[in-house]
Amino acid sequence: MKLYVFVALTLLIVSCGKISNDIDLSPNPGKIIAFEIAKELFFKLAKEKQLYVCEYGGGGKKPIGLIHCGLNYYKPIEIEEARELLVTTTNQLLHAFNEDVRIHPYLSTYPFKPENVQIRIFLYNADGSLCAKEKLHAISNLRGRLDYMNECPDKRWLQKVLVETFEEAEAKLKAPMQQAI
């Protein structure tokens, strides 16, 4: 038994030493620029849409292939308003990254598209409590697929009540405007 523990610890120490030697701790200019762009966007979303950032990151190493953010929204909403919030937030994020020429060399594809975005919006009541179980609890754009979720009856996780593509959602938002013309 002692031999087994010794071998396991030795392997762990050796492998950890190897991993730490392979880590690149030099600053990544692309990630620094992406953070600056995102920070400015998050201030704008808080001011204009009352969306408050709770998580942020990017997928991939170099180049940047995905931008992820999580936001909190303190107002129960229905699917129509949720759709508008997701489409608007996605378009603002895409615009911010596609218009800033400093980030272009660090993007895996230019222009960034809805498939390069992960946005999760967590919905709460104005006092910060959870929404009623029949109301939406979270909405997301996961690489161009929009999910609208509420609480499962067994309260163990969320269930999708609607799934649509980003293009379908955008078309539904434009349809009432075209009818008004």
65 lies in which domain range?
28-180
For the whole prediction, is pTM greater than 0.85? no
Higher pLDDT, 2 or 178: 178
**Rounded to whole angstroms, how far apart are CA atoms 74 and 76?**
7
Residue 25 confidence (pLDDT):
55
7 pLDDT tier (thresholds 50, 70, 90): very low
Residue 23 confidence (pLDDT):
55
Q: Say if residues 93 and 115 touch (Cβ distance below 8 Å).
A: no
Q: What mean pLDDT do residues 82-105 have?
A: 96
Report if residue 13 sits inside a domain. no
pLDDT at 18 over 50: no
Nearest of 43, 61, 62 to residue 51 by alpha carbon: 43
Q: What mean pLDDT do residues 93-110 have?
A: 95
User: What backbone torsions phi and psi does residue 51 show, to the nearest 5 degrees?
Assistant: -100, 125
**Rounded to whole angstroms, how far apart are CA atoms 108 and 62?**
8
Report if residue 3 sits inside a domain. no
Report if residue 9 sits inside a domain. no
8 pLDDT tier (thresholds 50, 70, 90): very low
Q: Give the mean pLDDT of the chain.
A: 84
Q: Say if residues 117 and 94 touch (Cβ distance below 8 Å).
A: yes
Report if residue 19 sits inside a domain. no
| pLDDT tens, residue by residue, 102-151 | 999 999 999 999 999 999 999 999 999 988 888 999 999 999 999 999 88
Report if residue 14 sits inside a domain. no
DSSP for 66-112 reads EEEEEEEE-S---HHHHHHHHHHHHHHHHHHHHH-TTTGGGBSSSS-
Report if residue 150 sits inside a domain. yes
Report if residue 18 sits inside a domain. no
- Give the total number of structural domains in the chain: 1
Report if residue 36 sits inside a domain. yes
